């Protein structure tokens, strides 16, 4: 396995997860836009959701990347590409589960 590819995989995954969390947070805020306006929540306060959630997102990303880190280490040591396939499927499953969970909880707050 290419060393540069393996060194960049975890940071790419982390940025990808951060993007997913941000996009789903925007969807949540857009879904409740009228409610936020009705409650007269200042726009600055709505924007403060993003920095407030940043460290929680980083923590969640850390937990999500434990298995890919272990598999990537195994792939580097064994020169096998199989762990990379497992990482791909794991990521896909986690993305689907998280998106379903996030969209489902969006409807709960109505």
15-27 residue pLDDT tens? 999 999 999 999 9
* Domain count across the chain: 1
Question: What is the pTM for the complete model shown?
Answer: 0.85
End-to-end CA distance of the chain: give it in Å, rounded: 48
* C-beta atoms surrounding 8 within 10 Å: 11
Identify which has the larger pLDDT, 6 or 24: 24
40 three-state secondary structure: coil
Determine the structural domain holding residue 15 and report its residue range: 3-108
Query: Which residue bears the tokens 């880190």?
Result: 69
């Amino acid at each position: 396995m290419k060393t540069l590819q393996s060194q960049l995989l975890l940071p790419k995954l982390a940025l990808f997860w951060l993007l997913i969390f941000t996009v789903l947070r925007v969807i949540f805020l857009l879904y409740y836009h009228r409610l936020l306006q009705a409650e007269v929540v200042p726009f600055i306060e709505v924007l403060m959701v993003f920095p407030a959630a940043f460290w929680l997102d980083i923590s969640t990303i850390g937990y999500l990347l434990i298995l890919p880190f272990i598999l990537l280490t195994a792939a580097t040591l064994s020169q096998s590409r199989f762990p990379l396939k497992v990482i791909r499927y794991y990521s896909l499953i986690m993305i689907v589960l998280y998106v379903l969970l996030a969209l489902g909880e969006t409807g709960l707050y109505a």
